[in-house]
Structure formats: C-alpha cells, structure tokens
Amino acid sequence: MKKAISFSILTILVLSCIEIFTPAYAQEELSFQKGICYATWQKERYLSTYSDKSLEMLAQTGAEWVEIVTTYYQQKFNSLKIFPTDNTPSDKSIIHVINKAHQLGLKVMLKPHVDLIDNSDGLWRGDIGFQDEADWQAWFSQYRNFILHYANLAERTNVELFCIGTELCFASMQAEFWQEDIIPRIRNAYSGKLIYAANWNEYKKISFWDDIDYIGIDAYFPLANKKNPEYEEIKAGWRKWASEITDWHRGINKPIILTEIGYRSSEFSAARPWEHNSDADIDLEVQAACYIAALDVFYNQSWCGGMYWWYWKTSPYSGGLNNRDFTPQGKPAEIVLNYWYTGNISSLTHAEAKII
C-alpha cells in the first residue's frame, strides 16, 4: 500500500485552495449546500446506535446538509414492478435518521433510488426503458406510487429538499410523464424544494428543468485516463468539465447542485470515479487530491449551489487508511473536507496526529 498522503503536500494544497467562503448562492433561501450523502442498504440500520454515532461524526465535518438515501428495486431493466426488499430502509428507520439529522442541526435532502436486482448483463438504473407506450405507462404508474410514498414522508418530517429521481437516463427522456403527472403530484404532496439527480452524461438531455427548483448532477466525470495522476492533471480534468457545464448553464436561472460526487481510495478513481467494485490498489492520495481539485474548481462557481460527497457510512468504524471504498471516513479526504467546510486551519496539528 502506498503511504498515506504526505501531510506537508496536503497542507500546501489545502492552504492554497481555501478562500473566503462566499458561495454564489449564499443570499438565497437555501444557501450553498455543504453536503454529504448518507446511505445504507439494511432495513433497520438507520435506527441503530452505530448510525446515530456515525451521523454525529458526519456533522462534525462541518457539513450542513445530509442526503438520506433509500432504495426500491425492480428485477431487470425492463421489469414493470417496483418494490421494496429487505435491503430497503424501513419508513421507521428513515423517519428516525431524518429526525436525528435535524436534532444535529443538519438540513436534509431525501433521495430515493431505484436499482436493479438482476444486473448480470451489466445494465443499471440508467438503462431502465421500454419499447411500448403501454409499458412506459405501467412503469410510471409504479414509479408514481414509489416516489409519492417518499414525498409524503418528506412532507411529514419537514425535509428541506426532495429528489424526484436519480440517474434514470432513459426514463427521464419521457418528459410528458414527468411534467404532466409525476412532478405535479409531488408538488401536491410535498411543499419543499424539488431536484432531479441526473447522471453526469445525462443532464443536458433533460427537458423538465424548468418544472423543478434545482438542477442536480451526479458528478462522476472522468478526470484522467491513467492511474495515480498528479494533482494538476486532476484539476485540469475538472476545469474542462466545469467549463462545459458553465457554457450549458448560460441563461438557466437556477443553481446546479452536485447531488453526488465521490471517489474511491483507489489508484484508478480519477479515471473511473463511477466504479464501485475494483481490485485496484489503495491510493489515499488520489482520493484526497480529487476532493481538493473539485472543491477548488466548483466551490465558488456562480452556478454551483452545493455539493454532496458520496458517501458516509452508517458505522463510526468505517473507512480508515486500509479502506479503498468511497467513504472519506478516517482518511485524508475527511480532513480536506473539514478544512473546506469549516475553514478550521487551527486544527492542523490535531488532524495530522490522527492520520499519520
């Protein structure tokens, strides 16, 4: 395993990037959302004392928002039934974690997902789609019931922001279902702000952005074409994508929120940030450098209304220097995030002692 990121290098990078925190949307009702995603695929995990403790640790990073994830399923990409399984958090556990987040002073985005049980053919939620109009109608009837269930739960628990869909690359092209049915029904059930989380290669194709409050992008953009890239290569990769988003955003009078952004502690994480399963070597430096580059490029973009890092786990013992997963817990990436979210340079010595 490579040595944990040199703290002298990390310090230089952080200090060179931190500026006075004046996000572009600070004057709005919902200011820049300093967010972290919080997810489980266990029915009652959000109810556990482990989860409570882990959420308390999340709040200590300086995050002001938490994105609560819950997942329903369908058998295959062309199945017509959407349903909960034992991997779906119970409503009781979701209500508990939302209330716990509010007690900690965190604002909440509730973000329901639909996943495939059978993805043996390499397909995923972005491939959900049908040839026949009747099948689309049947699927959207199921989706309506699913999403309205959570919209009503969000209303009852005073959730500040509700995500109406995530990475449904083909389904999101069926604009009439969203504009004439799904979005109006959600508006009737839920009084807060709405967002849709588009995949990184989907956001330009969405035609219903005017019907909701925020543009969401799950920002797994490839940043390099090799393993272990240098920081400046990673930052250059982000600058290219930021320029493209800026050009596309001209004339759109609403902020873009990065509803997911994250990197494994892996040598190939900058090249394939969407990759969940990999035997690549652990690389804490690449993950930390990706965090710094993204924060440096996006934090003060005029259109950027927030960022949610994928993802914080529901155990306080998750992560660590031998972990190659996405979580920043117990890694240099967590320290980077804390500096940016709090500007707390005075904790440098303590942070150094914790990870080296």
Burial 59-75 (b: 16+ CB within 10 A, else e): bebbbbbbbbbbbbbbe
Q: Name residue 216's beta-bridge partners.
A: 197, 257
Q: What does the alpha-carbon distance between residue 195 and residue 131 come to, in Å, rounded to a whole number?
A: 27
- What confidence score (pLDDT) does residue 351 get? 38
Q: How far apart are CA 227 and CA 266, in angstroms?
A: 9
3-class secondary structure, 103:
helix
Q: Which tokens is 226 given?
A: 């090799």
**Cα(first)–Cα(last) distance of the chain, in Å?**
14
Q: What percent of the chain has pLDDT over 90?
A: 74
Helix (H) or strand (E) holding 136: helix 133-156
38 closest CA partner among 83, 104, 85: 104
Higher-pLDDT residue of 230 and 141 is: 141
- The number of beta carbons lying within 10 Å of the beta carbon of residue 317 is 11
Residue 86, pLDDT score: 97
* Residue 303 in this model has a pLDDT that exceeds 60: yes
Listed residue (89, 238, 82) closest to 146, CA to CA: 82
pLDDT in tens, 103-120: 999 999 999 999 999 988
The better pLDDT of the pair 242, 3 is held by 242
Cis peptide before 339 (omega within 30 of 0): no
Q: Can you give the pLDDT at residue 273?
A: 81
